[in-house]
A and B are shown apart, each in its own frame.
Chain A
């Protein structure tokens, strides 16, 4: 599959959403609502559950299953309240030394007027900054679309996994096409130029692990994902908090390709 075909696959309706992964991977999940500031964003599903024997905090961007559900959830485009709910639960996880598992699946943060009024940029900025210093392990799994800052706000993590056909991008290929070629029809070329596939993410160091997809055997795929999560949670939990945060700093510190002249 080329980048465009992967993009279409990642967006396909009927593709499992965060709710399906949460149900399949965790046990005894208890959903927790609200940002304690303004409201509760249905685009973010979050709570506490067991990963094997370990209590974890889960946070997933939920696109919804049928049209009505999808509309309610803004098709998985979170509002500032969603990001603030996520941060509240991450801070809570830090307090109780619970690992945080995020599922990312969004075209991007919601672009409404009220989202701007309530500080969409500020909400994302705060999540990214606070996650960089969070003293508990964070693992993010991009299960479909990783759309720009709205995805990074749940993916400033110690480990990032990409599902085999998931994509991650700084801008939607449609947006990119309309800026570069003034033609949103050039999506295929834009997707290619932007390098958005799981393999690209591994190449650039944005993701450590690619999870093989098997649409016919969702349970098996989730079992493999669960195993990987348990392995990484075990390892990351064995590190001191300082080592963990330091490792996360270094993980993001390395990004950047540029020329450096000698001084």
Chain B
């Protein structure tokens, strides 16, 4: 699983802002006021670039006011392989994000309809999937199955977390089995692919939704661009592995800009309410 973490880390956008702070838009390279970007749902007012979002900001933006109830936040990671630099990585990520791990789960209402929700946070070790991420998402599906709730999942990930060795790989199977069980009971699962969704997350629950949406220009792929370029011995076009590229090749249902996201999700959820 190619981990593109080191390459994209520099582009992460911090969302805690003061009004005078500015940020360079990765889309059009102009300098933007952070507050303005924030108020515009973290979308560049000039070019429409969708900035990366923290899980909490995303939840606030997508769910009905005060409807979110967090679940499974009592789980945290252990460096059980004593893997080089993993402990420090976890501590730094926790300090910088205020989160215990790379995914926030719970229940909420979207457009008045109750659902289970998981939102991955790319600021936390590029939301790579280790035991805790896998366990929390699995529990979310099991909870939703028991309560007969739809699941809405926002994916972002560098892939499986190699610092947890093969156990992180097994999370792909663990979550997938829970998705299957939830699905067999005729429950709805909507995935929203956000920038960047790669590796083992693409090769498992990101691609298992009944309906797969994506944010504009989100990077979505299995192998990293550099690895693919090395394999085929040529440069790849800029739009390779973009949400638009996936749409063209038939792997996402629709690209939904952030301004339309709540409306789209609400409508889809409403269409699947069981009578």
Contacts and interface: CB of A to CB of B under 8 A. Distances in A.
B18 interface: no
Given A125-B205, A132-B177, A149-B199, A112 B83 contact: no
A262 interface: yes
Contact of A258 (B131, B203, B231): B131
A238 interface: no
A124 B161 CA distance: 18
Given A255-B134, A255-B170, A193 B84 contact: yes
Interface string B168-196: 11111110111111001000000000000
Interface stretch (B23-31, B41-49, B57-65, B222-230): B222-230
Nearest to B204: A125
A214 to B, nearest CB: 26
Q: Is the interface of B mostly helix, strand, loop or mixed?
A: helix
A165 interface: no
B207 interface: yes
Interface residues of A, number: 57
A248 B177 contact: yes
B83 A193 contact: yes
A121 B165 CA distance: 20
Nearest to A249: B177
B208 A129 contact: yes
A89 to B, nearest CB: 19
A111 B228 CA distance: 5
A255 B171 contact: yes
Interface stretch (A4-12, A48-56, A168-176, A225-233): A168-176
B181 A170 contact: no
B135 A125 contact: no
A261 B74 contact: yes
A258 B135 contact: yes
Interface of B: 1-3, 5-6, 74-78, 80-81, 83-85, 131-132, 134-135, 138, 160-162, 164-174, 176-181, 184, 199-200, 202-208, 220-223, 227-228, 231-232, 236, 240-241, 245, 249-251
Contacts of A126: 207-208
Interface string A178-210: 011100000000000111100011001010000
B203 A179 contact: no
21 contacts: A109-B203, A119-B207, A124-B204, A125-B176, A152-B172, A170-B162, A171-B162, A175-B3, A175-B227, A176-B162, A193-B84, A200-B166, A206-B166, A249-B177, A249-B181, A252-B170, A255-B170, A255-B171, A255-B174, A258-B78, A261-B75
Interface of A: 108-113, 115-122, 124-126, 128-130, 132-133, 148-149, 152-153, 156, 168-171, 175-176, 179-181, 193-196, 200-201, 204, 206, 248-249, 252-253, 255-263
A170 B249 contact: no
A41 to B, nearest CB: 16
Contacts of B207: 119, 121-122, 125-126
B85 to A, nearest CB: 7
Given A126-B207, A128-B204, A175-B3, A257 B167 contact: yes
A242 to B, nearest CB: 12
In the A-B complex, the 5 residue pairs with the closest CB atoms: A121-B202, A121-B222, A132-B177, A256-B131, A255-B170
A125 B6 contact: no
B135 to A, nearest CB: 5
Contacts of B240: 113, 116
A261 B6 CA distance: 31
A151 to B, nearest CB: 8
